[in-house]
Amino acid sequence: MKRLFIIGAVAATMGLVSCEDTVTKDPLDEFINNPEYWSNTVNLENQCNRLYENYYGYGNGAGTNSWFYFKTLSDDQANATFDTWTFTNVPASSSTWAGFWEELRGIGYITDGLKMSSLDEETKAYYEGIARLNRAWQYYQLVRMYGNVPWVDTALDPASPILYGEREDRDLIMDKVLEDLNFANSVITGTSKTTWNNGMVNAMKAEICLYEGTFCKYRTAADNGKAPDAERAKKFLNECVNACNAVFAHGYTLNATYKGNYDSDDLASNPEMIFFKDYKLDLFMHSLISYTCSSSNQHGITKDAFDSFLFLDGKPLATTTLDKNDAAELDAATGKASIAKVLQTRDKRLAAIVDPYLGFKGRGYVRDFVPDAPNMTSVTGYTIGKYDDPAKYALANRDQNNKNYSDAPVFWLAPVYLAFAEAKAELGTISQADLNNTINKLQARAGLPDMTTAPAADPANDMGVSNLLWEIRRCRRCELMLDNWSRYWDLIRWHQLDKLDTNKNPDILLGANVGNIPDLEVDINADGYIQTSKGASRIYEAKHYLYPIPSGQITLNPNLGQNPGWK
């Protein structure tokens, strides 16, 4: 019998790797590819369980492969070393590109194997649903990054001519993604929050369909290669609404606190969770907390992000009647730069995301003044307290890599509320009842007045959208700040990527207002704001809407071609 492996050497799949790569890459899992193997549910479970690793949550062990906090290619967060675009030149190879095809080949083995399985049709359909759900997830990310890509729904032999074909239109790929999601929805049931469940399927579908619907509405032929498609946008936005309603039918409710979704050691009892990553002390841990409470200089939120939060009167910075002074004050008792007073007038989520004291070079801060804890600093002055709870975790399980065990949300109710409201607003069918049943629950938790279908204008609205869409987008930004890719990909789908151009938007390089704090060791501008990357710049070009195809892959398969603007 021929011995194969799931996602080891991908051979020439889609021109991913050279012969040398094939020889040196070790397989992750081996199996006998025959009907007997695929007729055993234990084997199927093992192959499907491997797919959980693709939902990184707070990471898998000591590395930084987290869906949270490391979001510095945005206008929300800044890095001390300054992040320009993911690619500024065409790379010869890319582990990102290769990784997707490795996963898709592994999924192809599952779908191919099920065709030879002797299990009953219902059981086979369930496992096919898991495989297709994960195929949809992989292709969604591939299309976001690369646009047109080849479609592969089998574990191809390296000699297959499909490997050397052209890329397919990204719209056709996303239609197939929707087919996969709908199939998964028809066969995956259950309510477990740590395994494949129907709520998770529909939460994923809502996210993907919201992306596709808005991307197709706002794209341009000049920048994205295809003109807007109103009918296609409507189709996917309606699919998003349907998926959200399916999630709502499961009876999830908001957690009492915003921060409790991020700093908990047990999300199983959290009524907002749909699917989460379960970490265990001394068994399976991560490092995310350590990056936000150690002596390493943190990636802080920007002035632009800080200013996006509403004041407690429900008004933005430009129109509020509340105290809008954002300068830190020297706390005589602690000698620290306090922003506690500043936070008292703003959206409560802001106080959950950042600490009440600034931490910057020359004037660090120890969270909650825990004895022996490391002195924290941030490149913007705003240190990130969103994921940490000194009262809950011992210092050793906070400031050390691979010693953190808080659970990570993966799919939860708040993003579904946001998707529903945005999709309905884009469709022009949103009602006050829709807002009350979704976003206004988030507003209430944040201490804010209800949003109406006709909110007042904000002079800061620079996206060319209605006042309502502007406020829904603001709520999404504030609710999901530092979360799971949200801001960067939101700017892509709204056709607003130029917001990351630092020459046009200098506030995304500024940090906190240090006020009259003495003995500063950081650069500040004339208005007292920390300058995070003095002299640095990130210049937007339309080509940045897509990643470049690695040149080595084009050498192996010239039919792939290159994305526009990349040479």
Which pLDDT belongs to residue 24? 29
CA–CA separation, 327 and 240 (whole Å):
42
Buried b / exposed e across 289-328, counting CB within 10 Å, b at 16+?
bbbbbbeebbbbbbbbbbbbbbbbebbbbeebeeebebbb
Residues 532-544, mean pLDDT to the nearest whole number:
93
With respect to residue 254, please indicate whether it lies within any of the assigned structural domains: yes
At 535, is the pLDDT very low, low, confident or very high (cuts 50, 70, 90)?
Answer: confident
Report whether pLDDT(454) > 80. yes
Residues 404-415, mean pLDDT to the nearest whole number:
98
CA–CA separation, 211 and 145 (whole Å):
13
SS3 404: strand
Q: List Cβ neighbours of 399 (8 Å cut-off, separation of 6 or more).
A: 289, 290, 293, 294, 373, 374
Of the candidate ranges 2-16, 50-64, 152-166, 380-394, the one whose mean pLDDT is the lowest: 2-16
Residues 9-31, mean pLDDT to the nearest whole number:
38
At 159, is the pLDDT very low, low, confident or very high (cuts 50, 70, 90)?
Answer: low
Report whether pLDDT(5) > 70. no
Residues 82-100, mean pLDDT to the nearest whole number:
94
In the chain, how long is the greatest CA-to-CA distance?
A: 76
Closest to 450 (Cα-Cα) out of 427, 434, 463, 426: 434
With respect to residue 210, please indicate whether it lies within any of the assigned structural domains: yes
Report whether pLDDT(38) > 70. yes
Which pLDDT belongs to residue 157? 74
Note the pTM of the prediction, 2 decimals.
0.94
With respect to residue 343, please indicate whether it lies within any of the assigned structural domains: no
Which pLDDT belongs to residue 272? 98
SS3 542: helix
Q: Cα–Cα distances in Å, from 406 out to 58, 195, 263?
A: 9, 18, 6
Report whether pLDDT(139) > 60. yes
pLDDT tens sequence across 170-208: 999 999 999 999 999 999 999 999 999 999 999 999 999
Residues 220-229, mean pLDDT to the nearest whole number:
96
The helix (run of H) or strand (run of E) holding residue 329 is: strand 329-330
Report whether pLDDT(62) > 50. yes
Closest to 533 (Cα-Cα) out of 509, 554, 567, 556: 509
pLDDT tens sequence across 263-315: 999 999 999 999 999 999 999 999 999 999 999 999 999 999 999 999 999 99
With respect to residue 558, please indicate whether it lies within any of the assigned structural domains: no
pLDDT tens sequence across 117-127: 999 999 999 99
Domain encompassing residue 230: 189-278+407-494
- Beta-bridge partner residues of 3: 32
Q: List Cβ neighbours of 164 (8 Å cut-off, separation of 6 or more).
A: 15, 557, 559
Residues 240-252, mean pLDDT to the nearest whole number:
98
Residues 510-528, mean pLDDT to the nearest whole number:
94
Which pLDDT belongs to residue 65? 82
CA–CA separation, 433 and 431 (whole Å):
5
Which pLDDT belongs to residue 273? 98
With respect to residue 255, please indicate whether it lies within any of the assigned structural domains: yes
At 30, is the pLDDT very low, low, confident or very high (cuts 50, 70, 90)?
Answer: low
Report whether pLDDT(13) > 50. no
At 484, is the pLDDT very low, low, confident or very high (cuts 50, 70, 90)?
Answer: confident
With respect to residue 567, please indicate whether it lies within any of the assigned structural domains: no
Buried b / exposed e across 126-141, counting CB within 10 Å, b at 16+?
bbbbbbbbbbbbbbbb
Of the candidate ranges 154-163, 197-206, 244-253, 513-522, the one whose mean pLDDT is the lowest: 154-163
SS3 19: helix
| CATH number of the domain that residue 259 is part of | 1.25.40.390
- Beta-bridge partner residues of 55: none
With respect to residue 484, please indicate whether it lies within any of the assigned structural domains: yes
Which pLDDT belongs to residue 156? 78
Mean pLDDT taken over the chain = 92
Which pLDDT belongs to residue 471? 98
Which pLDDT belongs to residue 230? 98
Tell me how many domains the chain contains.
Answer: 1
Angle at Cα 143 formed by Cα 53 and Cα 239, nearest 5°?
Answer: 90
Beta strands 510-513; 529-531: pairing state: antiparallel
Which pLDDT belongs to residue 16? 40
With respect to residue 505, please indicate whether it lies within any of the assigned structural domains: no
Instruction: Identify the residue whose tokens are 């944040």.
Output: 446
Percent of the chain with pLDDT over 70: 93
Which pLDDT belongs to residue 342? 98
Which pLDDT belongs to residue 473? 98
CA–CA separation, 318 and 324 (whole Å):
9
